[in-house]
Amino acid sequence: MDALWFLRQRLMFSSNLYDEAAAPFCEKMRRIEAGEEPFVDNRDPFYQDVSEPAFLEEFLEANKAVEAVGYFCLLTTQASLQTYLREHAAELLRYRGGGDLSAKLRATGGGSWFERYRLLFLNEFGMDWSQGPTKLTEIEQINLTRDDLIHNVDVTTTTVYRTKNHSDRFPAGLFTDEVWENLGIGSKIKIGREELTKAQQIVDEFCSWLDRS
């Protein structure tokens, strides 16, 4: 099986999904900011309170929807990396005479799923990931961000923040909202078009190198 081909299909799907799913909400925010129909501000400042922008609630709701789409697409990107490593490792084991992948992963003694795969590829296949073109700290940030999106959810908001351990490890993270960081109001996760593209480039570069090695 060509695991790399399937990985790229998954990455393309999540990339297209982001663009298609986020588009109507982005357009809604654009119309609100431009004051286009049906978001024309007809308030009379003499009689009405205009201290807040018009249609603020609608804008914030649309923005939350765009954020949620980004969160989901980052999750699918990280899952694509994990499934690729599983399939590629299993294929290499079959080629070299077999063996139980789960047992070999446990035997590495790695503290995380990614560390177990790193040690497996090093010990079984002689592939040193630190010699590849991809910074392993960038993949670590994808994994940590995925963990936050799953495990650091707050019932009071749809926004997700990095844990203290995550933000202490990477003060200037790849997937953080710089505006919020600079204001000191929380390490908010941001997965927009730019951040999603960056994550997918990291995964594709890393897996392409593994495929060639």
For the chain, 213 residues long, the average pLDDT of each consecutive 10-residue run is: 92 97 97 94 86 91 96 97 95 82 90 94 93 95 96 93 93 86 80 96 96 86
Q: What is the pLDDT of residue 68?
A: 96
Q: What is the pLDDT of residue 94?
A: 86
Q: What is the pLDDT of residue 35?
A: 92
Q: What is the pLDDT of residue 209?
A: 96
Reading the block at residue 64, the tokens are 């939350």
Q: What is the pLDDT of residue 121?
A: 95
- Domains of the chain, by residue range, sit at 3-93+133-212
Of 96, 108, 94, 87, residue with least CA distance to 210: 87
Number of H helices, E strands in the chain: 8, 0
Q: What is the pLDDT of residue 55?
A: 92
